[in-house]
Amino acid sequence: MALPETLEAERRGEIAILRLARPDKRNALNDPTVVGIGAFFAGLHPDIKVVVLDAVGDNFSAGLDLSELSERSTFEGIAHSMMWHRVFEQIELGRVPVVAVLKGAVVGGGIELAAAAHIRVAERSAYYALPEGQRGIFVGGGAAVRVPRLIGTARMADMMLTGRVYGAEEGQALGISHYLVDNGQGLGKALELAGKIAANSPVTNFAVIHALPRIAEANPREGFLMEALMAAIAQGSEEAKERLRAFLEKRAKKVTEF
Ligand code: 1HE
């Protein structure tokens, strides 16, 4: 698949790595990059079980390419925001789980992109900001929906109104990242996690990406029913039966504390 020069893709067995590769502009997201992210996810090889979303250089992403913004009319702005929504939905509700590696600036649209991933590994250099308030604009890449789910509406409002910047440790405590590692360790950790995810039954991974978030947002009455249906579908698969047999016959790993 043809990617723009601002993206790099690599395959390691069942794991695909997609890298933002525009370090001289702090991986600011211009239109070709966002469209390219969509093309990458649309064209994923069927053998790929997990995607790791990484970045070249010291920063994950400085967000929307501000140099593109001034040219747009109001109506074009709606179309642009909806284009980001479509692409980021391909990440969140795609075929495989996505692990993002966060470092340096994770700002504006960079947070929006990170929030569409399923697992976030942050290096200690990571910092988070929503400078849209200072720029006179509003979030447009899904942050108003996804970020409150991570840190709450009140904290997001503070970030936008006051320009508050959270560091990596705070981001970890607040739930922006799932894992916090030393600088330079993010990709290694993400690949380790991706290996574990790839070893799951595909039915479970599907259920976690597609059923869990919908159940969590559903009215509990519908949610419980959806859960029961999903549980039955998962346990009915041949793979689940073999995995359960393997445990009972002491061939499978036990749960260990660490
Ligand atoms: C950019 C962008 C960008 C850097 N669009 N070109 N995002 C922001 O408001 C963040 C704006 N950026 C910054 O505050 C800083 O660049 C950083 C804190 C991220 C990094 O600082 P630093 O000192 O490492 O780099 P720099 O010198 O500021 O930037 C290096 C180059 O990247 C420089 O270009 P150059 O040609 O002068 O070398 C910068 O202009 C360029 N650059 N960030 C375009 N964002 C769907 S709605 C989403 C809404 C948003 O995302 S709003 C938030 C936008």
Could you read off the pLDDT of 201-235 as tens digits, one per residue?
Answer: 999 999 999 999 999 999 999 999 999 999 999 99
Instruction: Quickly state the pLDDT bin for 142 (edges 50, 70, 90).
Output: very high
Q: How far does the centroid of ligand 1 lie from the alpha carbon of residue 62, in Å?
A: 5
Of 20, 60, 7, 94, nearest to 176 by C-alpha is 60
Choose the residue to mutate in 26, 85, 87 for probing ligand 1, maximizing ligand atoms within 8 Å of C-beta: 26
By three-state DSSP, how is residue 73 classified?
coil
2 vs 182, which has greater pLDDT? 182
The answer to whether the beta carbons of residues 166 and 128 sit under 8 Å apart is yes
Q: Is 227 a catalytic residue?
A: no
Q: Is 112 a catalytic residue?
A: yes
Alpha-carbon distance of 66 to 110, in angstroms, equals 13
The answer to whether the beta carbons of residues 186 and 7 sit under 8 Å apart is no
Q: Which of 14, 76, 89, 132 is catalytic?
A: 132
Of 81, 82, 6, nearest to 40 by C-alpha is 6
Residue whose CA is at the smallest distance from ligand 1 atom 9: 131
Q: Write the CA distances from 35 to 27, 56, 90, 173, integer angstroms.
A: 14, 18, 11, 33
What's the pLDDT tens digit per position in 164-194?
Answer: 999 999 999 999 999 999 999 999 999 999 9
Q: Write the CA distances from 171 to 153, 158, 184, 239, integer angstroms.
A: 15, 14, 18, 37
pTM: 0.96
pLDDT at 257 over 90: no
